Amino acid sequence: MAARLLVVPLLAGLVLLVGAPVTAAQAAPGCSGRPAKTITFATGELRVYKSRTHACAVTVAKKPGKRRAMSVTLQPRGGRVVKDSGSFTQMAGPVTVNALNRCVRATGSVAGKSASTGWILC
């Protein structure tokens, strides 16, 4: 009886320590920071993340699987465009720019459909 009383709290503590698994919808591989903006379009999503000094963007296909043309661009105001494009199965990016006290704009496309943020994080 005493052994059971000891096991239950230990298992509960282990569950709290391990936590729930992170899904693909919650975090983009390669991008650090907090989610700042997500734009959904017909064939995918454009996700922008912001840390204290950087902005990061990825384009994720709505239905991953076969290879198709995908791209993601990110530009800080007054700076050069950073782009990742090609034939991907699931995701284009991540692309990262220095965005300390700067607005950024991002564009993403999957199979000819696209979305853009305009200037954000100002």
Q: Read off the tokens for 119.
A: 């200037």
For residue 30, name the pLDDT band (cuts at 50, 70, 90): confident
For residue 42, name the pLDDT band (cuts at 50, 70, 90): very high
Nearby residues of 46 by Cβ (< 8 Å), 6 or more positions away: 37, 38, 39, 57, 58, 59, 72, 106, 107, 108, 115, 116, 117
Q: What is the pLDDT of residues 74-107, one digit of tens each?
A: 999 999 999 999 999 999 999 999 999 999 999 9
**Cβ proximity of 8 and 16 under 8 Å:** no
Q: Read off the tokens for 35.
A: 């989610």
